[in-house]
Every structure is written in C-alpha cells, then in structure tokens.
Amino acid sequence: MRLILLGPPGAGKGTQAQRLVAKYGIVQLSTGDMLRAAVKAGTPVGRQVEKIMASGSLCPDELVVDIIGQRIDAPDARKGFILDGFPRTVPQAEALDRILGQKRLDLDAVIELRVDEDALIRRIETRVAEMKAKGEKLRDDDNPEVLHKRLEAYRQLTAPLIAYYRQHGMLRTVNGMAPIDDVTVAIDRVLAAAPAAGGRQGAQQGTPSTKKELSA
Ligand code: ADP
C-alpha cells in the first residue's frame, strides 16, 4: 500500500497516518519529521533548512526529493508507505512520479483531508495551548504569524496538487472536519473502494461544503 496524505497544516495528516501505519504495517514518511531531525542533529541539511522551516516557507524541492528518494529505498518501506507532507509542490509530485516509475512502483491513492481554514487556525492554537500547558517544547513554526505563512505556502504551492492528482485519477477526498474516528472510517472506505492506482476519478467521501474550504 502506497499512499499520499494531502492537506494543509493542522488537517490531521499525522494522526491519520499513525492509524494507517498500525492498520497496514506500512511506514509513515514525514518530510517535516525528517527535516526536524536533521535540524536537531545539526547535519549540513539541517543547518541549510533551519531558518527556512522556522519562517514557515518551504525547503528547496531538490533537497526534499533527494531525502524521500533515498528513504523509499530503505528495507522498512518495502511493504509500503504513507507520504505525509510530501509532495508539497507540483515539481515534487512530478519528481515522485519519476522516482516511482523508475522503481516500477505505483501509488494506491492520494487522500485529501479537506478542512475549513478558520478551524485549522483554531486547531493549531489549541495544539499550542495544550503543549504549553504540559510544559512541552513548541515547534519553532508553531506560532500564529508563522502559521499564516505556512497556510499561504499551502494555498500557493501545495493546493495545486489537488488538481494534479485529480487529473491523474488518483485523488480521493475525505471530510477532515469530521471527528478523528470518522475521518479514519472514511479513509478506510476510500481505500476499500479504490485499491487500484489510477482507478475511479476523484471519488468523494463526506460532504464538506463551506466557502472557506482550502482546495485548488
Ligand atoms: P505542517 O505541520 O505545516 O504540515 P510539516 O511538519 O509537514 O508541517 O513541515 C514543517 C516544515 O518543513 C515546512 O513548513 C517546510 O519548511 C518543511 N517541509 C516539510 N516537508 C516539505 C516538503 N515536502 N517540501 C518543502 N518543505 C518541506
């Protein structure tokens, strides 16, 4: 099983990815986590991306494509993987298509978690307040100002991927505003209904229909 989870910051990609990992025995490949680990370890890549990440901008395409290209080759990714936070631009998606093509691997689906923008801001504010209350260290990019920058990067650079994968017949949309367990059920349904790569066009689950939906 090879999946992409697509959605803006705070859409719940990480939460759903962890559930899919447990259910299918596949690995979660989060470029955000990998880059944060590189920053923490002070590697050359980490030093290169530290300021970019803290500002809420995206890291260079070639850099993240390289990281993912290598990570997909690791033995633990052989059974499958969930990409979380990658691809984030159309050039990254094109690079991923090339990488998978060379390895003769297919994607099973691209799952879009569709959410309302105001709710996202509230979710991230809650996450920040909870972490502060627990005395946990906040991510450098978890503050309101940087959040707006991250949402802007999403709208400009990542949202076009929705159209990209819809055109490729890969896109499956679920309502990310539903309770966490309901989102999980919706994803399960989508995967049961659409196992083959490039299958049905843009199947849709749930009925998100607010004006502020973040989509392409
Ligand atoms: P979010 O919670 O905003 O979805 P992530 O943890 O996925 O964030 O990523 C945090 C930061 O890491 C991004 O704001 C960006 O700077 C960098 N990053 C992660 N993945 C990518 C990617 N695929 N391309 C470019 N930059 C990335």
The percent of the chain in helix, strand and coil, each rounded to the nearest 5, is 55, 15, 35
Ligand 1 neighbours (beta carbon < 6 A): 9, 31-32, 35, 52-53, 56-59, 64, 85-86, 88, 92, 141, 150
| 136 vs 110: CA distance, rounded Å | 32
Could you tell me the distance, in angstroms and rounded to a whole number, from the CA of residue 139 to the centre of ligand 1? 12
Which residues are marked as active site? 13, 88, 127, 139, 150
31 CA distance to ligand 1 middle (Å):
6
| Protein residue whose Cα sits closest to atom 2 of ligand 1 | 9
Q: What is the pLDDT of residue 194?
A: 62
C-beta separation of 81 from 27 below 8 A = yes
Q: Which two tokens stand for residue 209?
A: 């229909």
Query: Can you tell me which atom of ligand 1 is nearest the CA of 153?
Result: 14
Tokens of 156: 């400009």
Quote the DSSP letter at residue 10: T
Owner of token pair 């879009």: 112
Residue 17: phi, psi to the nearest 5?
A: -60, -45
Structure tokens at 212: 């502020």
Burial class (CB in 10 A: 0-12, 13-18, 19+), 212: exposed
The pair of three-digit structure tokens given for residue 25, joined into one six-digit string? 């025995």
The SS3 assignment for 19 reads: helix
> Per the structure block, which two tokens stand in for 28?
């979660």
**Candidate from 53, 82, 121 with most ligand 1 atoms within 8 A of CB, to mutate:** 53
Q: Which two tokens stand for residue 202?
A: 């843009």
Ligand 1 pocket: which of 18, 28, 62, 88 to mutate (most atoms <8 Å of CB)? 88
Ligand 1 centroid – CA 184 distance (Å): 23
Task: Provide the residue-wise pLDDT of the chain in tens; the chain has 216 residues.
Answer: 999 999 998 888 999 999 999 999 999 999 999 999 999 999 999 999 999 999 999 999 999 999 999 999 999 999 999 999 999 999 999 999 999 999 999 999 999 999 988 888 887 788 888 888 998 887 777 777 888 889 999 999 999 999 999 999 999 999 999 999 999 999 999 999 865 544 333 344 443 333 344 544
H or E segment to which residue 175 belongs:
strand 171-175
Give the strands of the sheet with 203-204, arranged side by side: 27-30, 81-84, 2-6, 109-114, 171-175, 203-204
**H or E element: which one contains 162?**
helix 160-167
Q: State the pLDDT at residue 142.
A: 79
Who contacts 132 (Cβ-Cβ below 8 Å, separation ≥6)?
Answer: 138
Q: How far is the CA of 58 from the centre of ligand 1 (A)?
A: 6
Nearest-atom index, ligand 1, CA of 52: 16
